[in-house]
DNA sequence: CAGTATTGATTGGCTGGCCAAGGAATGGGT
DNA sequence: ACCCATTCCTTGGCCAGCCAATCAATACTG
């Protein structure tokens, strides 16, 4: 034993998570994924999370802030602050909605649009890197199962209160 | 069309993520998972992330802080601040390591140990909820594929610098 | 038409988490 | 014995993201 003794069962599944091994694996993989994405985004001058907001703006043109909130599933205050920073960086432009003086319209600037290629490349590149050695069938299976999980959790979330008055 | 027009392709995969659909699905599922876990943890007085630290402490007894850092894969400063808060909540106890005056030994208090059952139940419960309708074979397959992804990403992370001097 | 409810957005405060920089204590090399 | 590199931890600053409370503008209802 030349290695300093691990002092306990380090690096393995914590025993308190034995009842949720898949969830733990999901959390681990997603964290690594987010970190790897963060590495790529840093070279573009973005922080993790911001690229998702930019994606919506690239797709939608001028959007109401409430649309962003709903589309990203984030807290309104989170969106406000992210937009303030993105605006200060010159990536985004905000102006009052003439048809509703409460609302704010958001759109990307030219500088913001310039990042699109880099972000798309980052996502493709990370996809290839993270799925290396996994065949197309397994990839599809993974996506299918993750979607099922997301559906289950979305159902639970709706029961838990954040149910927008769509069906109730 | 009674619903307010979506203004664009809301709620679908952002077009900039077409190159990484699995990664996007992974991120979505993991976010929902973390939020669902957060709901359960709030009833225990914990924030998401803290339960993982407690798990290590429950398993290991008194641990050096550096062990925690390595075991959780977090930044040292993150661990320091989390421990300061957990200590102030009375869930954790810190004392200097007599054999190395730089180091700090961390262990749970009785009050901290009392949360173990609740956290285990929360994980089991979330596992069942998130995997509802998914058979044992598919669960195993999901775990296997997620582990592959995590392995790929860990490899990439090591190449990217955070390689602890284990093999080099 | 007046009064109330709902929606849109902001602020403040809190946590998780990162990076960069710094200060102690230990260990290794000459 | 001395100096230097390494290890262990802390601080400060920043961003994502949440909740609670708040204000302004619109919509709804009696």
Instruction: Give B74's pLDDT tier (boundaries 50, 70, 90).
Output: very high
What percent of chain B is modeled with pLDDT above 70? 89
pLDDT category, B11, cuts 50, 70, 90? low
Question: With 60 as the cut, is the pLDDT of residue B56 above it?
Answer: yes
pLDDT tens per residue, range B107-137:
999 999 999 999 999 999 999 999 999 999 9
Task: Report yes or no: B4 and A99 within 8 Å, Cβ to Cβ.
Answer: no
Query: Integer distance in angstroms from CA B84 to C1' D13?
Result: 18
For residue A4, the model assigns a pLDDT of: 42
pLDDT bin (cut points 50, 70, 90) of residue B1 is very low
Among residues A16, A45, A63, A41, which one has the least CA distance to residue A123? A41
Does any domain span residue A2?
no
- Using the CA of B46, which nucleotide's C1' is the nearest one? C15
CATH value at residue A55: 1.10.10.10
Contacts of A30 in chain B (CB under 8 A): 26-27, 29-31, 33
A101 nearest nucleotide via C1' and CA: D25
Q: Shortest CA distance to A130 belongs to which of A46, A47, A51, A28?
A: A28
Total structural domains in chain A? Answer: 1
Instruction: Confirm whether A8 is domain-assigned.
Output: no
Q: How far is C-alpha A18 from the geometric centre of its chain's CA atoms?
A: 27
Residue A127: closest CA among A117, A139, A113 = A139
Does A124 have pLDDT greater than 50?
A: yes
Structural domain contains residue A72: yes
Residue A103 lies in a domain: yes
Q: Is residue A147 part of a domain?
A: no
Asked whether residue A18 is assigned to any structural domain, the reply reads no
- Structural domain that includes position A88: 23-133
List B residues 75-104 in contact with A (Cβ-Cβ < 8 A): none
Tell me the average pLDDT of chain A.
89
Q: Examine residue A95 and state whether it is found in any structural domain, yes or no.
A: yes
Mutate to test the interface with A, among B9, B29, B44, B138 (most CBs of A within 10 A): B29
Distance A76 CA to D22 C1' (A): 14
| C-alpha dihedral, B31 to B33 to B35 to B37, nearest 10° | -150
> Does any domain span residue A32?
yes
Please give the order of strands across the beta sheet that includes B63-64: B63-64, B104-108, B92-96
Residue A7 — left, alpha, or beta (φ > 0 → left; ψ -120 to 50 → alpha)?
Answer: left
């Amino acid at each position: 034993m030349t290695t300093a003794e691990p002092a306990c069962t380090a690096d393995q599944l914590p025993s308190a998570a034995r009842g949720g091994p898949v969830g733990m694996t999901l959390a681990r993989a997603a964290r690594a994924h987010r970190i790897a994405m963060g590495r790529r985004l840093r070279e573009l001058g973005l922080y993790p999370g911001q690229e998702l907001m930019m994606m919506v703006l690239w797709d939608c043109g001028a959007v109401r802030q409430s649309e962003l909130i709903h589309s990203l599933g984030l807290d309104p205050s989170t969106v406000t602050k992210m937009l303030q920073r993105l605006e200060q960086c010159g990536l985004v432009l905000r102006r009052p909605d003439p048809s509703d003086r409460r609302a704010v319209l958001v759109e990307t600037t030219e500088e913001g649009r310039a990042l699109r290629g880099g972000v798309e490349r980052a996502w493709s590149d990370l996809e290839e890197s993270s799925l290396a050695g996994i065949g197309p069938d397994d990839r599809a299976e993974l996506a299918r199962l993750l979607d099922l999980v997301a559906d289950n959790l979305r159902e639970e979330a709706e029961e838990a209160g954040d149910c927008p008055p769509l069906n109730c």
